[in-house]
Amino acid sequence: MTSSLPVLRKILAGTAAAKCETETLDFKQAKPTLKEAFQDLAEACVCFANASGGTVIVGVADNKSGEDAFVGCDLDASLLRSKIHQLTMPSLLVDVREMEFVGKRLLEIGVPEGLEVYATAKGYTYQRINTDCLPMRPLDVTRLSEERRGFDWSATASGRPLDDVDPLALRYCRRLLAGSADPSRQRYAQFGDRDLLNALHAIADDGTLSRSGELMLCQNPSSLGMYAAVYQHKRTQSGEADAVLRVGAPLVLAFDEILQAMRARQGITPVTLADGRQLQIEDYPSAAIREALVNAFIHGDWRMKGVVQVEHSPQYLRIESPGPLVSGVTTSNILTRGSRARFPALASGFRLLGLAEEVGQGVDRMYREMIKSGRDVPVITEGPEHVAVLFRGEPPNTRIAKFVASLPQEEQDDTDAMIIIRMLCGKRAVRSLEVAPVIQRSPDEAQAALHRLAAEPVGVLEPTRATMRHRYPTYRLRANVIARLGSAVAYHSRATDDIDRKIIDHVRDYGEVNNRTIQRLFDVDVYQARDIIRDLVGRELLTRTSEQKRGTAVRYGPGPEFPRAGSRRGRRSATD
């Protein structure tokens, strides 16, 4: 019940129950007759069991909000659990618990992710896709059954002899291995052809090429249509394509050709850091789009004879692969669930070549690289026929890119840290319960991430004074961080008021201020302090009072618009 309470409170506060449903949470109102109620709930449990599991709360009308949404349920918990077991094939064991909320009795059904494919007593199979319970096609049932049994289609025999391997593809593999920074990979470049094919999982048990070997290394694989991938480039999002590239197998060559086509049309935004280093910010970070492309190649369902489609313009980049996400992976757990290969042999071949992540961190890298370049995270969508990754190509927010580049490397490489900082650029304060679904972790894990970012040596967040002793405090960016991020913070106008107030108070006390003082006040570098002074001088709050015109020791005193003591503006600044 504890995990459901925040959602139930949200409904009580006025949000419609249907808007609170997720891939793993469903609300149900019991049907009028027992037979209908049991069948309806068994069907809902089948949906979750054939996806990644979930929770059904019975006794909540999903089209209502407030107290009216809680209609209650009088079904017997033990009987319901028994009936779900009887009305599913194979028999499904669920956990049913009673709870009370706003005086109404509710039932919470916990459904585990299944080990097999489940159906209703009438033989109907359903699967939870986003917030819908959809019928499964025979292909969907076969795919899910194979994934849960551990059957690897890509490891089965293709019937093609080893001599069918494209020499250019094999030469490309050797070049990748020889050029690897990993000595254990370099040695594979010296293997004989057969030994290298074995290492790439390209040979089946009968001595012919496996499906994986055929796809990676042969022309015209039987499981592919005419093309493996299609690339289109447009000058504008909705304009005509000015470049179209259609490539067939082998997949290793197709992957390289599409990747080079994307890289050739990348723009660069140079950004100079305070220490003199220069960042080269690409339109779409190469590391991010490379991971998206390799995921499309190794996780796409090639049995559908579909193609990997890439649409590229300055406004957006979309990479689409055939087939849905692998069983158990959803858009709401893809960051933390880790990579589950649909075709392990194919994935192993790509990993050996250094084209794919060894431990399933590709999606993490996409998120990190986009935030580090000052952009929004990618949007991942799924349907029965495809998975798509969309990167937005808006101009980079260089303030965020500069700030992230100043953090310790371990924080730059931490996806949770990047997402939290990005969140707080748009929201004044957050709690772990808000952060948890965004970083796809539990509230306690989210709290640990927030606490680490607030503690030294990172120290970019702070708990608010009113909540600092709470179990889940409210966190905000520190004042010096807001000053460094500047206009990247959506509520920067208020942050500017805070900066004004502190500098005005300092000038009142000491009569002047300089660049060094502002550096100490806000823990910023010389260039950020310079920008703060320029803004204050531009608004005539400060004016230069020393004869010296350059350097950090130039002194500034009250300008024409400097608030008088006791003025309304001064009082507002002093109390903000």
Domain locations along the chain: 5-136, 153-217, 229-265+278-340+353-370+387-394, 407-486, 491-575
Q: Give the per-residue pLDDT at 567.
A: 53
Helix (H) or strand (E) holding 557: strand 556-558
Q: Which distant-in-sequence residues (6+ apart) come within 8 Å of 370 by Cβ?
A: 285, 288, 376, 377, 378, 391
- Distance, in Å, from the CA atom of 573 to the CA atom of 450, rounded to the nearest integer, reads 30
Nearest to 357 by CA among 265, 415, 306, 290: 290
Torsion of CA 117, 326, 223, 257, to 10 degrees: 180
Q: Which two tokens stand for residue 40?
A: 């309806």
What are residue 414's DSSP bridge partners? none
pLDDT of residue 570: 45
5-136, CATH topology level: 3.30.950
Domains 5-136 and 407-486 share a fold: no
CATH classification for the domain delimited by 407-486, as one of 3.40.50.720, 1.10.357.10, 1.10.10.10, 1.10.760.10: 1.10.10.10
Residues 240, 229: Cα–Cα separation, whole Å: 19
Q: Which residues contact 385 (CB under 8 A, 6 or more apart)?
A: 304, 306, 322, 323, 324
Alpha helix (H) residue ranges in 150-207: 167-178, 183-186, 193-199
What pLDDT, on the 0 to 100 scale, is given for residue 569?
A: 44
pLDDT for 572: 41
> What is the reported pLDDT for 339?
63
What is the H or E stretch that residue 89 is in? Answer: strand 88-89
Whole-number Å distance between alpha carbons of 461 and 450: 8
In tens digits, the chain (576 residues) has pLDDT values of: 446 888 999 899 999 999 999 888 999 999 999 999 999 999 999 999 999 899 999 999 988 999 999 999 999 999 999 999 999 999 999 999 999 999 999 999 999 999 899 999 999 999 998 888 999 989 889 888 988 888 999 999 999 999 999 999 999 999 999 999 889 899 999 999 999 999 999 999 999 999 999 999 999 998 888 899 999 999 888 889 999 999 999 999 999 999 999 999 988 888 887 777 888 899 999 999 999 999 999 999 998 888 999 999 999 999 999 998 888 888 888 888 766 788 999 999 999 999 886 544 678 899 999 999 999 999 999 888 899 999 998 888 888 999 999 899 999 999 999 999 999 999 989 999 899 999 999 999 999 999 999 998 899 999 998 898 898 999 999 988 888 888 888 876 556 677 888 899 999 989 999 988 988 887 777 877 888 888 888 888 899 998 887 877 789 999 998 887 755 444 444 333
Q: What is the pLDDT of residue 269?
A: 86
Q: What is the pLDDT of residue 576?
A: 38
The CATH code of domain 491-575 reads: 1.10.10.10
CATH of domain 229-265+278-340+353-370+387-394: 3.30.565.60
Closest CA to 129 of 340, 318, 325: 325
Q: Name every residue whose Cβ is closer than 8 Å to that of residue 159 and which is 6 or more positions away in sequence.
A: 208
Q: How high is the pLDDT of residue 573?
A: 41
In this prediction, residue 357 carries a pLDDT of 66
Instruction: DSSP letter for 481, please.
Output: H
Q: Which residue type, as a one-letter code, is found at position 436? A: A
CA angle 100, 103, 107 (to 5 degrees): 30
pLDDT in the model for residue 566: 59
Other Cβ atoms within 10 Å of 184 Cβ, number: 9
Contact 388, 311 (CB under 8 A): no
Which residue has tokens 């067939």? 248
